[in-house]
Structure 1
Amino acid sequence: MIRHVLLIKFKDDASNAEIEKLKGLFELMPEKVEGVISVEWGENDSPEGKNKGFTHSVLMTFSDEEGRQNYLPHPEHDALKEVFRPLLEDIVVFDYQI
């Protein structure tokens, strides 16, 4: 399995409604894209103050390398990016095998 971690910093003008729409699109990925096993969405609540402006995270689990390679060019991923990119100030993407 592969974990796909996104740390997200939204633009100041990104609305809560837009962010909720994006969350819904991410959460539908396991139903729409073969090889995406699960998606978790989270909002930072650490009291340490070390998030450097990153406020949200997405943790996706892919079945294997084939699942990741299926997701990256998938039309559903492209549709998600159309909603995501205008809201995005910065992002960290980190993948690892488990």
Structure 2
Amino acid sequence: MIRHVLFIKYKEQASETDIATSLANFEAIKSKIDGIESVEWGLNISSEGRNKDYSHCVFMTFVDEAALHHYLPHPEHEALKAQLGPIMEDIIVFDYAL
């Protein structure tokens, strides 16, 4: 299994509706692309102040590395990125094998 972890910093002008849409798109992609075991996301609630303005984390689990490589160029992933791109300030992507 492969974990695909995203830390997202949204632009200040990103509306709550736009952010909610992007997170819903992440949740929905599991049913659109084979090989995704799970998708979850969360809002940073740490009181440590070390998140460097990254407000959200998306945590995806893929059945294997082939599934991740199938997902990356997939048209549904491209559509997700197209919606997210204009409202995102920055992103950190981190993948690891279990």
TM-score w.r.t. the length of structure 2 is 0.98
Q: Distance in 2 between matches of 1:55 and 1:69?
A: 26
For structure 2, list consecutive stretches of 5 or more residues without a partner in the other structure.
none
Q: Partner of 1:32: helix, strand, or coil?
A: coil
Number of matched pairs: 98
- Aligned twin of 2:46: 46
* CA–CA distance in structure 2, aligned partners of residues 92 and 81 of structure 1: 14
1: distance between equivalents of 2:93 and 2:47? 23
Aligned to 1:9: 9
Find runs of 4+ consecutive structure 1 residues off by over 6 angstroms.
none
Report the CA distance between 1:69 and its aligned residue.
0.8
TM-score by length of 1: 0.98
CA distance in 2, matches of 1:74, 1:30: 12
Give the gaps of 5 or more residues in structure 1: none
Distance 2:54 2:25 in 1: 20
Shift of residue 17 of structure 1?
0.1
Taking the aligned partners of 1:85 and 1:93, their CA distance within structure 2 comes to: 14
The one-letter code matched in structure 1 to 2:7 is L
Identity level (%): 53
Match of 2:67?
67
